[in-house]
Chains A and B, each alone.
Chain A
Amino acid sequence: MKYSAASLFANALSGHKKWPVQFPDKEPKKSYDAIIVGGGGHGLGAAYYLAKRYGITNVAVLEKGWIGGGNTGRNTTIIRSNYLFDESAAMYDHAVDLWDGLGQELNYNLMFSKRGVLMLAHNVHDVQSFQRHVHANRLNGVDNKWMTPEECKAFCPPLDISQNRRYPVMGAALQMRAGTARHDSVAWGYARAASKLGVDIIQNCMVTGIRRGADGAVEGVETQKGYIASNKIGVSAAGNSSVVMEMAGLRFPLESYPLQALVSEPIKPIMPCVVMSNAVHAYISQSDKGELVIGAGTDQYTSYSQRGPLHLQEHNVAAICEIFPIFKRQRMLRSWGGIVDVTPDRSPIVGKTPVKGLYVNCGWGTGGFKATPGAADMLAYTIAHDAPHKINAPFNLDRFVGGRLIDEAAAAAVAH
């Protein structure tokens, strides 16, 4: 069924009790042309683009839990592309291009809102480095502009710009094409659209092994639901990527850390945009439900537990109170953690692996949600062509041997 105002009206007449299921929960077939391991936004998106753009429709997405139950449902929904280096700008801006109109394409309300991301500068170094970002972005055709404190205040009224604060706002970089989207919808929308094109979405089906033939090429995967054959396997398993790659005998330059976020009780609309502050170390936006959505850096140790300690949340909230004293009496409602796979240069690995037929999309660290459509498209392209697209070619695994790193760690507009 196509979702529209008319279908909403028609279903209202039957008390919304006759909506069809969005996508069937399939049992696996014996073999597929391609298998995607990981049913998050990236994996479901890759399956969708394989079917939609690259003509491979006999595809299965294997998810060990429920779709979108990993990092796709555990992030702070921020979308932006104001990265410093050319390679990153191309990759993230490709994603932002795809976000535009994605809701229409998938016929699913993603609640994509280009409300702008404001990155605050609190000292001379911040000002210089953000202005460099603004100029680098503009040279790459990525929208970003410099704002004075007064312009910041006009754009985001709850901001305190008094200059006698411990961390005064000395200006900010604003990306207007950036914003937020409803993360669950992204997984559901891709799943529904992919399913319509013939993709099987198989939940509660953990991959336990990767079978390789005599020539070393992949032949299929062992799963909780039995063996499934395929000579093209795309791994998009976020925090567990290194665990899956180990099954094919590959060791990856990845470490998995918990990243926590939390939301406040819902309040009336007050935050018109996303505000990030690297120096005070937190970021905040307001969901359409009214909750203030707050996040910061990863926990210090590696873990797969999908939770983290309370003292880090306390640190996040303290940083928010420092930037927005107006929120000091706001109570927090719930918190959660996701497991993010971090590479040494804080840039992703998207492309081929040394094993024939095995493709990977991992290492997005703390910033994977924003890249969902772009990463998904690049993984699908690489699987279909057995060669990377020029956008994801620099994000190969070989760079950790050759030394051509894309070192966004210190220079990027990210709050690690």
Chain B
Amino acid sequence: MFEIHCPYCNEKRAEIEFSYAGEAHIVRPNAKQQPVMSDEDWSRYMFIRDNIRGEHAERWWHNAGCNMFFNAIRNTVTDKFVMTYKMGSPRRTAKQIDVARETNTADKAKT
């Protein structure tokens, strides 16, 4: 079972308090910006997912805790969380993810 850091509670809690909520940073098409929507574009929004083998940006819901949604970067091969961050903040860059990963390893070495 995972221990997941909730960025709102600022605490590590057991996985059973959380629900997975799919890929993060998927933006719903805006009718004002894109008045005519092709079937292909709608399909991409509805159905196509990155399904990354590696570090994956995803949403989790702390539904048995603070009830907030947040984003996380998790490695789908090792199942290790690299970082979690609040909803609404921008997609993390590869560099930010690298820094977080190194900090985790350094913290682990200390303890």
Contacts and interface: CB of A to CB of B under 8 A. Distances in A.
A309 B76 contact: no
B39 A402 contact: yes
A256 B49 CA distance: 10
Contact of B53 (A243, A251, A307): A243
Interface stretch (A274-282, A298-306, A328-336): A298-306
A207 to B, nearest CB: 13
A31 to B, nearest CB: 28
A344 interface: yes
Contact of B48 (A253, A303, A309): A253
Interface stretch (B15-23, B26-34, B88-96, B98-106): B15-23
Given A309-B1, A344-B47, A240 B53 contact: yes
Q: Categorize the interface residue count of chain A.
A: 20 to 34
Contacts of B10: none
A311 B46 contact: no
Interface string B22-63: 000000000000000001100110111111010010100000
A248 to B, nearest CB: 15
Contacts of B109: none
A310 B16 CA distance: 11
A252 B48 contact: yes
Nearest to A253: B47
A400 B49 contact: no
B111 interface: no
Q: Categorize the interface residue count of chain B.
A: 20 to 34
Contacts, number: 60
Given A253-B48, A254-B51, A300 B20 contact: yes
Contact of B78 (A242, A305, A309): A305
A344 B1 CA distance: 26
Contacts of B50: 251
A301 B53 CA distance: 13
Contacts of A304: 53, 76-77
Interface in A208-257: 240, 242-243, 251-256
A301 B72 CA distance: 12
B48 A251 contact: yes
Contacts of B48: 251-253, 400
B78 to A, nearest CB: 7
A139 interface: no
Given A309-B2, A311-B1, A255 B43 contact: no
A346 to B, nearest CB: 12
B40 to A, nearest CB: 6
Interface string A254-277: 111000000000000000000000
A104 to B, nearest CB: 39
Contacts of A254: 49, 51
Nearest to B16: A311
B22 to A, nearest CB: 8
A344 B56 contact: no
A255 B49 contact: yes
B15 A242 contact: no
A6 interface: no
Interface string B63-101: 000000000001011110000000000000000000000
B58 A253 contact: no
A401 interface: yes
Given A254-B51, A400-B43, A311 B15 contact: yes
Contact of A401 (B2, B40, B74): B40
Interface string A303-345: 1110101110000000000000000000000000000000010
Contacts of B58: 301-302
**Those 8 A-B pairs whose CB atoms lie nearest each other, nearest first:** A253-B47, A301-B20, A300-B20, A242-B51, A401-B43, A309-B1, A400-B47, A344-B47
29 contacts: A242-B51, A243-B53, A251-B48, A251-B50, A253-B47, A253-B48, A253-B49, A254-B51, A300-B20, A301-B20, A301-B58, A301-B74, A302-B51, A302-B56, A302-B58, A303-B76, A303-B77, A303-B79, A304-B77, A305-B78, A305-B79, A307-B79, A310-B1, A311-B15, A344-B47, A400-B46, A401-B43, A402-B39, A403-B39
Interface of B: 1-2, 15-16, 19-20, 39-40, 43-44, 46-51, 53, 56, 58, 74, 76-79
